[in-house]
Structure 1
Amino acid sequence: MAAEQQLLEQLVDIAEPTYQLSWQIPPGVYILLAVTAAALVYGGWLLYRRKQYLAAKHQAIALLRQMPADAANQINQLLKRVIKHYAPAHPMLTASTLQWQQFLQQQLPDAPLPSLEALLYQAPSDPEQNEQFYQFAQRWLAQLRPAMLSSRQQQLLTQEAANV
């Protein structure tokens, strides 16, 4: 028993090693910082790509604001250019005026859309219809989801292939 008592007296408390520098960080924190930095860089890159992807939409909105309300042909061309940018093979790019109008009306069923045939192809156009088309174009561009255009394009192309 005396031998055990001597051995117990020789035991010393375990002391953790002190860091050599007061600001030294544990290795696990370095890994956590690296993962966080990589996630922030990746998130920034995704935001940059999204901004670049939506640049055509924002540019179209800016161009529309510069156009007069009575420029129905230019507004129509602007809408088709936006579709062509996001979905180059979209069937509505070669559709008739009636099909184009139906497509636009399906996109915004609650917004009034004047007759495009009368608006685009008849010389004396009604200023109220021009304004209505201008307002419709503004709302259409504001609610535009480019990803929906390409998915809609796939649906239309699949339907056309089934009809052949």
Structure 2
Amino acid sequence: MTDWGDIILRLGVAMLAGGAIGLDRDLRGKPIGLKTLGLVSLSTATVVVLTLQFAEPGQFTDAASRVIQGVLTGIGFLGAGVIVRQGDRLRVRGLTSAACAFFAACIGIACGAGHWPIVVTALALAFLLLTFGRSAEHWLHRALGGTDDPHDTGPPQAPPA
């Protein structure tokens, strides 16, 4: 049985970690933000902590594994809600925000399980990627002879007749 202090720590860190990822999305004007990703991470941590309450200390049961599988499958629906097709072009927007929803769920799972080195490492790597990823994409595309905009899919397509 996990004590109150540990439950508060696990759920609080999950909410703050997911909220931090959401803040990055908010600051970039993206369709998913601090509250949404904070809640995604908090809710996944909650179900993991709850599931672990019924296991032997230090054990990860089949039930916990099934809960995590269900959460990760279900989070796809939330992610799909932030992905949109832009106009008549073959351009899709919101994939990074959808990936952030999935990541927030994974961080929530790690927080719920109390695996702090994984939480800290994953958050650090995610913020590096979110902060420098676009610049790295543009630089690599120019250096390797691709388009300047790695998300450019070419000229607009004619609408179907």
The two structures share one fold, judged by TM-score above 0.5: no
TM-score by length of 1: 0.26
TM-score under structure 2 length normalisation: 0.26
